[in-house]
């Protein structure tokens, strides 16, 4: 979608129309465990130099367990949120990924 927005080949109305179609298509596809795991690894990267090697290994093992279907996503989201709070990673704390739903739904 970023390339579409940056493109100089389409008018604004054409961009808006195409953007809407592509955005709806993207939201229609449920993310796979592998894609979630990729995102979790990316988020974990913010902490790997701040936590000790045993904590890092534990975190990476948990992500792998999630990828294999042996752990719930919510568990990792809470762990990553705790790390973000501990290390005051405001960028991570602002990410909707850590809080995708209203608390009442859990």
Contact 37, 67 (CB under 8 A): yes
HSE-CB of 68 using CA atoms within 13 angstroms: 7
Residue 75 CA to residue 17 CA, distance in Å, equals: 38
* 26-73 tens-digit pLDDT: 888 888 999 999 999 999 999 999 999 999 999 999 999 999 999 999
Residue 68 CA to residue 34 CA, distance in Å, equals: 9
pTM score, whole prediction: 0.74
């Amino acid at each position: 979608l970023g390339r579409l927005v940056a493109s100089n080949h389409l008018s604004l109305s054409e961009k808006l129309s195409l953007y809407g179609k592509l955005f709806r298509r993207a939201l229609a596809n449920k993310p796979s465990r592998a894609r979630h795991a990729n995102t979790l690894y990316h988020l974990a990267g913010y902490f790997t130099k701040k936590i000790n090697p045993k904590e890092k290994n534990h975190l990476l093992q948990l992500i792998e367990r999630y990828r294999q279907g042996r752990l719930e996503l919510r568990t990792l989201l809470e762990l990553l949120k705790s790390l973000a709070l501990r290390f005051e990673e405001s960028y991570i704390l602002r990410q909707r990924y850590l809080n995708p739903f209203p608390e009442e739904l859990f």
